Structure 1
Amino acid sequence: MNPKSIMTAAMALGATTAFAEPDREVSVTRAASQVATAGAPEYFTGSVKVQSRFQASSPARVGGGLVSFEAAARTAWHTHPLGQTLVVTEGVGLVQHWEGNIQRIGLGDVVWIPPGVKHWHGAAPESGMSHIAIAEALDGKTVDWMEHVSDEQYGQKSGDVGE
């Protein structure tokens, strides 16, 4: 193969490390470096831990983290400008959109919340729950927080939890 063919092949394959740009390299964030933090009380009810938060660099917009809720813990009502995906990794949880029925979610379930839909999610009364939350940023913003979910809305007092 002649030098011109080699260069053409390298460019077609995305180039080699000799041509790599610093901002175009794969980066790995080690699990041991991820610190779990308590969910802020203005956004959560109950005991919640947030870890493995990530936010892609521009032009990418995706970010997220692993959120773990103890039994009966939950988010406040909120929306996402470009929607949100939840992937349940452990336990049993609940999710509800404004004026909708509460739905139970469990291990392996994937939840899609469309852009601008007011909703909350968290653990079931009898079980903790963890999920990976993924959302895209619009103009640097991924979430708009609102009021807390009341005990009556959560269904904890009435026991009114749908399937």
Structure 2
Amino acid sequence: MPLSSSSPASSGAAMRNVDFWVGLILTGAGGYALFEASGFDAASRVFPMAVASLLLVLGFMLFLNCIIRGTGRPLPLREIGLVLLCVVLVGGWALLLKARLGFALSTFLLQLGLAWLAGERQPLRLVAFAALITVVTYLIFVVVLDVRLPRSILSFIAPGL
């Protein structure tokens, strides 16, 4: 039964709505990112705080829109497992960064996992795709944007490696 955009949704219908959960997750992630970014030094915190604030506000707007209007799509229960695996991959990437494995190695492993989840099964293509994305993002952040990447156990080779 589709949700009507002209009447408020019942709480049960809202919780079966993908926008309800996406809004809730984005609001939580934006709030946490804002909290973390507030601990950065003054020169480094402006951009992360702006992105985190935007994430928090847009997530909350989506959440409220779902609650008030009842708009959105039904929750795709079959795809939740895939989404959870992506969340686990990104969480693992963050933990590897925190463990000082380095941006390049952590990102390479993340891209391997994401490409595999996207359906790529040929090992050579998986490695080539992950390496290409890792090199391009590294160059964008380090060379073009001059971002200091987190220190890693391989920083003696290159910064943030």
The TM-score by the shorter chain falls in which range? under 0.3
**Larger Rg: 1 or 2?**
1
Q: Name the TM-score, length of structure 1 as normaliser.
A: 0.25
TM-score, length of structure 2 as denominator length: 0.25
Higher helix share: 2
